[in-house]
Structure 1
Amino acid sequence: MKVDDIILFSQVAELGSFSKAAEVNSLTNSVVSKRIARLEKEAGTQLLYRTTRKLTLTEAGKALNHNAKSVKQAARVAMDSVAGFGESISGRIKMSVPCISGELVLADAVAEFCNLYPDLKIDMSLDNRFVDLVDGGYDLVIRTGYLEDSSLIARHIIDSQWVVCASPSYLSRCGRPLKPQDLSGHNCLQYAYQTTGATDWAFKGPSGNYIVKVSGSFSTDNAIALRKAAIGGHGIAYVPRCLVYHDLRHGQLIDLFPELVGKRLGIYAIYPYTRQPPNKIKLLIEHIRTRYLEISHYF
């Protein structure tokens, strides 16, 4: 049996008509009829009952049609796997990325990708909000957190560990908390862009994560401002480690609970659901992922 005949038979069964299958495949009715007859000859049994009013599957036809769906799916997957490899990398990509990642790695990585493909233009906005991909016309979004919309596809890139840190000057002036519960007596700088809440800091415990409620005099939705406030000795911050990686290494900030912080979020490349994304999107995601992994120790 020829695979394309099996797929054609499945279409006839699904559409209930030789003429409709012929139209879908740009064939004549006689060609469809001849190919189904050839399939029946190869099978050694009748697959369809034909009347002037409708087509009905025989028992053998039902069995073949059931398995033909797998053949169609396998053919589709095979074609999808190579789709786009022959297309030129050109046009425009509109993307949104979070502020920290944008400044840390993505600005350079995306600009580098544009240089690799001179016919491509990328419009990249830095925004911590989870933008609406469809309404906003975005082709790709990089986000940290959790994916709730099932109409979107997410590819995991890397996990981002958070830290609790403070400057040596703050610790010298106010004392160092010895356990997470001690934070209630300190000025805690709050990052307003937190899915769990700016005053809810998660820590690891014997029975799983628990929350310590904190308070403080300063709150901001800008991570860079929060980092500067912490370095300036104004309080204790709860931030992604990648934001303060160099500050921790150079002693400008001290990691207070290196084994106890319970917040670890995935970083994802997210795009609208399609059976097969454009090749330029797949290549850009892979390029971004490679650049993240090159500095995985930051995270």
Structure 2
Amino acid sequence: MRADDLILFSQVIELGSFSRVAEENNLTNSVVSKRIARLEEDVGAQLLYRTTRKLSLTEAGKALWHKAKNVTQATQEAKDAVSGFGESISGHLKMSVPTISGDLILADAIAEFCNLHPGLSVDMSLDNRFVDLISGGYDLVIRTGYLEDSSLIARHIIDSQWVVCASPSYIAKHGKPIKPIDLTQHNCLQYAYQTTGASEWEFKGDKGNYIVKVSGSFSTNNATALRKSALGGHGIAYVPRCLVYHDFRNGQLVDIFPDLVGKKLGIYAVYPFTRQPPNKVKLLIEHIRQRYLTISHYF
């Protein structure tokens, strides 16, 4: 079974006639007919009922069409991913990224992209607030969380799972919380950029997610400062797993509730609405996405 025959079959269903598909692909009607017949021979079943007025799907045709649509979509996505690679990418891009991702992966990934395209320059700022793309003149931002502004386009990159963690020294001195509600008896270090509130920590329950209201002596809007405070044994932190992935691996921090934390946020590439974004934006998004995927286990 050939992928191009599946794509042609999907076009026949969408356009409703062999002649329109033939015109769309610069083929003759007989070639389209022969390729559909070849596909039917490959699957060993009739796919279409053909009358002079219309085409309709057989049961086998309906089952195959569902798969054929997936092939068509995957082919288009593959084309979109590499479109523009043969063109000269130049000019300037202004973008904003969150501090954790900026430090972890994006500074290196974007500098690498600039080196791959010598005619391109990028101005990257690290900022956790959701900047105004239009008034700020941003071409692209990377953001974590749900996007509501319909004037912007968001492409999902990866999901970021949060964790509750503390150092072995803190646990040795104060004990390890057994249940999330036990956190109310501990010094909880708070990350001021939490969208749901720095003191409201989300957990999974039998009847859905719920919030534990915590308190503590230290709050900061800087993720690195929060991590260092946890490493120093000064309290329990609620942070994205990617921030402390290596600390878990080397034993400097302990994942206290590995299966109970309910907070998971999407990371998105966001750009102003346009029918066809510039190739340099599309290619940079794909470059960034691939770099995230190489360390997906961090998240």
TM superposition score category, shorter chain reference: 0.7 to 0.9
**Which residue pairs with 1:92 in the alignment?**
92
Q: Distance in 1 between matches of 2:95 and 2:88?
A: 19
Q: Distance in 1 between matches of 2:86 and 2:292?
A: 27
Query: What is the SS of the residue equivalent to 2:209?
Result: strand
Kindly provide the CA deviation profile for residues 20-77 of structure 1, in whole angstroms up to 9, marking residues without a partner as x: xxxxxxxxxxxxxxxxxxxxxxxxxxxxxxxxxxxxxxxxxxxxxxxxxxxxxxxxx9
Query: What is the SS of the residue equivalent to 2:163?
Result: strand
Q: Distance in 1 between matches of 2:85 and 2:254?
A: 48
1:282 is the counterpart of 2:282: yes
**Per-residue deviation at 1:88?**
2.5
**Which residue pairs with 1:141 in the alignment?**
141
Q: Distance in 2 between matches of 1:174 and 1:86?
A: 59
**Which residue pairs with 2:64 in the alignment?**
none
**Which residue pairs with 1:125 in the alignment?**
125
**Which residue pairs with 2:164 in the alignment?**
164
CA root-mean-square deviation: 1.9
- After TM superposition, the score normalised by the length of structure 1 is 0.72
**Per-residue deviation at 1:84?**
5.7
**Per-residue deviation at 1:115?**
0.5
**Which residue pairs with 1:195 in the alignment?**
195
Q: Distance in 2 between matches of 1:94 and 1:169?
A: 43
Structure 2 alignment gaps of length 5 or more = 1-18, 21-75
**Which residue pairs with 1:113 in the alignment?**
113
Structure 1 alignment gaps of length 5 or more = 3-76
**Which residue pairs with 1:268 in the alignment?**
268
Query: What is the SS of the residue equivalent to 2:228?
Result: helix
Among the aligned pairs, what percent are the same residue? 79
Q: Distance in 1 between matches of 2:83 and 2:168?
A: 55
Q: Distance in 1 between matches of 2:86 and 2:118?
A: 17
Aligned-partner residue type, residue 157 of structure 1:
I
Aligned-partner residue type, residue 285 of structure 1:
I
Q: Distance in 1 between matches of 2:85 and 2:296?
A: 29
1:99 and 1:127 in contact (8 A); partners too: yes
1:154 and 1:268 in contact (8 A); partners too: yes
1:101 is the counterpart of 2:101: yes
**Per-residue deviation at 1:148?**
1.0
Q: What are the equivalent positions in structure 2 for 1:120-269 lying under 5 Å apart? A: 120-269=120-269
Kindly provide the CA deviation profile for residues 79-137 of structure 1, in whole angstroms up to 9, marking residues without a partner as x: x9798677530000000000000000000000000000000000000000100000000
Change beyond 3 A, Cα 1:85–1:294: closer
Greater alpha carbon shift after TM alignment, 100-109 vs 83-92: 83-92
**Per-residue deviation at 1:231?**
0.3
1:159 and 1:267 in contact (8 A); partners too: yes
Q: What are the equivalent positions in structure 2 for 1:61-76 lying under 5 Å apart? A: none
**Which residue pairs with 2:63 in the alignment?**
none
**Per-residue deviation at 1:162?**
0.2
Aligned-partner residue type, residue 215 of structure 1:
S
Task: Kindly tell me the number of residue pairs found equivalent between the two proteins.
Answer: 224
Q: Distance in 2 between matches of 1:242 and 1:203?
A: 18
**Which residue pairs with 1:13 in the alignment?**
none
Q: Distance in 1 between matches of 2:252 and 2:84?
A: 48
Aligned-partner residue type, residue 232 of structure 1:
G
